[in-house]
Structure formats: C-alpha cells, structure tokens
Amino acid sequence: MSWETITLLFFAGLSAGFIDAIAGGGGLISVPALLWAGLPPQMALGTNKMQSTWGTLMAVRKYAKAGLVSWPQVRLTVFITFVSAMSGAGVVMLISNAVLKMLVPWMLLGIAVYVLLSPSLGKTAAKARLSLGAFACLAGSVLGFYDGFFGPGAGAFWTLASVSLLGLELTRATAFTKVVNLTSNMAALIIFVVGGRVHYEIAAVMIAGQLIGGRLGAGMAIRHGAPFIRIIFITVVFAMVAKLLWDQFA
C-alpha cells in the first residue's frame, strides 16, 4: 500500500468511527474507502466489520464510563442479538440480499421523516411499550439477524426501537444501540474471519482511526445530549437513503 492509501484509510476509519459513535452509518464512509483501496466486495465487508468493531468498542467504553449503559437491561438483548447476527452472517453466504437492497432505503426514509416530524421524540424517558424480555426477543432476533445479513441502517433501527418501544431517552438509546451494534459486529466478524474474508493489514490502519473517532464521537454525544444526536441522526439517515437509492438506480 502507498502512503496516500494508508492515510486515506486512516482518516476514513476516524470519520466512520466518529459518525458511528453518535448515530451509526459509518459504513457510508468506510465501505467505499475499502472498495477504492481495491478489496473485493466480500473482503471489504469483512474488513469493515473488523475495523468497525474496535471503534464501536471504544464508543461503548465511553458510554459505559458515563453511566449510560444499564448492563442488566441490555444483557438478554445482547445474547439474542449475538445468536441472530451470527445466523444472518451465515445465511448471507448462501443467498442473495437483493430484495433487502430495494426495501431498506424506503424503511430508512420512513424513520428519518418520523424523527423529523417528532421533535420531542427521545428528549425525555417515556413509558416502555414492551417488557425487556419481549423487546429482547423481538428486536434482538429481527435486528440482530438483519445486521448480520445485510446491515445498512441497523443502528438507526435500533435507536428508534429503543426510544419508541423501551421508552429510553435518546442519549441512553444511543448507548444501548452501541452495545447491541458491538454484539452483532462481533458475531458477524466471527463468520467473516472463519471464511477468510478479512484483510488484516488494512483493518489495522483503519482501527487506529476508528479508536480515535469512536472516542471523540461518543464524547460529543455525551456532552451535547439528545438535540445534538438528533441532528446527526437525521443527517446520517438521509445520507444513507441517498447513497442506497443512488446505488440502486444509478
């Protein structure tokens, strides 16, 4: 690799880690950067899971130190998400995800519009609509499988589910999302490692950036709270919609 490529991948990792720690969607930056570096698509996805896992780990550590992660609350969801994500990553090796590519942009667009039109959403904690057990079974199985199988927008789906179904305030919902994102990333990564779909040298360069970006992004989210997260969240989701629709129709 040339120094220009190494530098670009480092800053791609840093930028992706920063955005991921706040609102998810860092793959918008990291996956195109890996493809630009010449990796085949499956290798790019595996390498992306490797580097994003470390950035998410840094963000989780930061949120946990700030007291925003309730481990008893998230424990069952983590277990179900891990099993489901591993299943999803295994299935993606066998079948096409073309249908999801068509559906996901429109689901994300619906989320962005809903959040945009609900200015009070997630500002304060609300009454939970599901018990922790029901939420873990529903969200953990569906979103865990989805993140292992396809992935784009998983963070947005988790955040909305945590706010609307568990009644979490947006900052705590973001912390909850990072924990389950880390879980599904690690589960899918196991499948990619076993399948030989990780480029470790490139991953190492991006991990260095991810660790910095994840720490900075989580710090900003904790410091500025729900209004800041909301702005970044809506911006990232609209950017993801535009990117996915462009890929579909261009």
Rounded Cα gap, residues 57 and 167, in angstroms = 24
Tens-level pLDDT at each residue, the chain (250 residues): 788 899 999 999 999 999 989 988 788 888 889 988 888 877 888 898 999 999 899 999 999 999 999 999 999 999 999 999 999 888 866 766 566 677 768 877 887 788 778 777 667 778 889 999 999 999 999 999 988 887 777 888 899 999 999 999 999 999 999 999 999 999 989 988 998 989 999 999 999 999 999 999 999 999 998 889 989 888 888 888 888 888 878 7
DSSP helix/strand/coil, 210? helix
Rounded Cα gap, residues 32 and 216, in angstroms = 22
Rounded Cα gap, residues 183 and 99, in angstroms = 25
Residue 192 contacts residue 50 (beta carbons within 8 Å): yes
Q: Quote the pTM value.
A: 0.86
- Domain range list for the chain: 3-249
What's 199's DSSP letter?
-
User: Residue 167 — left, alpha, or beta (φ > 0 → left; ψ -120 to 50 → alpha)?
Assistant: left
Residue 174 contacts residue 163 (beta carbons within 8 Å): no
Q: By C-alpha distance, which of 82, 236, 55 is closest to 152?
A: 236
